Amino acid sequence: MSPGSRPRYGILLPKRNARPSTKRTSAKRRSIFPICSSMGKIVSRWSGGVHPIFAVLFRLPSVYSSPHGKGDGFEMVIPLFGKKDRGEKKNGSEKSEVLFEKPRATAPREKGAASVIDVGVRDFETAVLRRSLEIPVLLDLWAPWCEPCRRLSPLLERLANQYAGSFLLAKVDIEKHAEIAMLLRVQSVPTVILFKDGRPVDAFMGALSEGEIRRFLERHIVLKKASAEEEQPGGLLEQIGRGEIARARDLVNETTSPPDRLRVLILSGDTNKSRTLLQELKGKEGAEGDPVLESAERLLGFFEEESPESLRIRESLRKNRLRELLPELLEKADDDSVRRRLLDLLVLMGRGELADEIRTRLARRVFS
């Protein structure tokens, strides 16, 4: 990088990674590495603590920590875009300025453009950062030797093609492009990062199920299928979150993931099919610890008790009265057993208008 030129993006790394300096510096000094141009070289130093133009990149416990935090957790932040900082020494020996400029948008996405692309160091800025200004970009960092990557990649590619136009899947082979993994501080693969508006907004690690990936995406993206199905009044998960289970059942088809199908079956009171499907899902790798499967198993066990309360709840679900049932359970939420049933139902519903409203009301009731 030529003297005086400025990188477009950067990562703020821990103090312990800073290059030794002969000058006396603040204890809060950090090293800034570029993410695109001049990959891997220190391009600037800046002292005086965490500048307000920087924002925390991820919120993953034990993986990423706030730049204000302490301990061995490492810091990874990306700058917000802005103008030069107000602070500048008169002698010009040290400046404190924004080193990163907002990328310019590229040409609009053409119809029929690929939904899955391979990305390397040279095209990372254009294919990921700039492209994310016009469409969300899901960055999949993987390796050929990684078994979980082999399970996750087909799911990501299927969703990218199924919801073509809703987001772009960009794949990075860290064996070929180790610089990207190093600068993003990737500790394990697969690691998946979602970029929007030129910056990362969320991430996950490990091989999630298809339903979990959908829920991850729906926190930030309105998913629209690349077919006539997008004309439906809301997708499957949206209808479940609203408590419209009858409509959700109409949307279930051969492409629906088994966990999402299980949610619909239980919330509609179909215990026989639910039990069969649950046993199939529990036998698959990665099923242990899945909150949807755990809540489903607890509810099915509760229904098998055939107590007056379990019969009443199951009958309400069979009659498509979930929207009426939830407020009734909320009124009895002081009872631990009722509250557990309500929480399990909310887990199966996921996020949505009705589910979020009940969660908020429940929190107020519990902590008031």
Residue 99 maps to a domain: no
Strand 54-56 relative to strand 77-79: parallel, antiparallel, unpaired?
Answer: antiparallel
Tens of pLDDT, residues 238-280: 888 888 888 888 888 777 888 889 999 999 999 999 999 999 9
Whether residue 302 lies inside any domain: the answer is yes
**What residue ranges of the chain have pLDDT lower than 50?**
1-112, 227-233
Give residue 73's identity as a one-letter amino acid code. G
Domain boundary among 218, 249, 277: 218
Residue 164 within any structural domain of the chain: yes
- Give me the CATH number covering residue 168: 3.40.30.10
What's residue 4's pLDDT?
Answer: 41
Residue 111 lies in a domain: no
Dihedral of CA atoms 277, 279, 285, 289 in degrees, nearest 10, equals: 100
| Phi, psi of 172, rounded to the nearest 5 degrees | -120, 120
Domains in the chain: how many in total?
A: 3
Same structural domain, 170 and 243: no
**Residues 207 and 237 both lie in one domain:** no
Q: Are residues 254 and 163 in the same domain?
A: no
Of the three residues 159, 189, 218, the one that is the final residue of a domain is: 218
Catalytic residue among 35, 76, 143, 146: 146
**Is 149 tagged catalytic?**
yes
**Per the residue annotation, which of 143, 149, 333, 347 is the catalytic one?**
149
Predicted local distance difference test score (pLDDT) of residue 210? 82
Pick the last residue of a domain from 218, 249, 264: 218
C-alpha span between 296 and 262 (Å, rounded): 8
Q: What is the distance of C-alpha 274 from the center of its chain? A: 28
- 144: domain range? 116-218
69 & 158 share domain: no
- For residue 165, what are its two tokens? 């136009």
Tell me whether residue 305 is in a domain. Answer: yes
Question: Residue holding tokens 């082979």?
Answer: 173
Q: Examine residue 223 and state whether it is found in any structural domain, yes or no.
A: no
Same domain, 54 and 171: no
Tell me how far apart the alpha carbons of residues 228 and 189 are, in angstroms, rounded to a whole number.
35
Whether 116 contacts 140, CB under 8 Å: no
Based on the residue annotation, tell me whether 36 is a catalytic residue of this protein: no
Residues 283 and 344 in one domain: yes
User: Considering the domain boundaries, does residue 104 fall inside one?
Assistant: no
Query: Which residues on adjacent β-strands are paired with residue 29?
Result: none
Q: Decide if 135 is inside a domain.
A: yes
